[in-house]
Amino acid sequence: MVAVPTAAAASSDRRVGLRAVRALRRLLETLEVIQVDDARRYGWSWQEIAVGPGEAIVAARVETTTLERSVLNALRPAA
């Protein structure tokens, strides 16, 4: 089990902190895949996805791979 980020940051055991970083990175990547997939499903262009409110255009870097699709499908509630 991964400690909450604040507890992991305060831990003297760097392994705890590094595990928390990896878990947060996986969560962030999963959330990004879900949001991009939904935006594409609703007809958003890659440019619309790449531009956030008040931000410059950035490269849309998400590629929906087979693995990402399986993660996405596993997280979606059954219809």
Structure tokens at 79: 């219809």
Structure tokens at 41: 């499903």
pLDDT tens series, the chain, 79 aa: 445 567 777 778 888 888 888 998 899 888 888 888 898 899 988 888 877 655 544 444 555 555 566 666 777 776 5
- CA 9/CA 63 separation, integer angstroms: 31
Q: Which amino acid is at 40?
A: R
Unique residue bearing structure tokens 């999963």: 30
CB 16 within 8 A of CB 8: yes
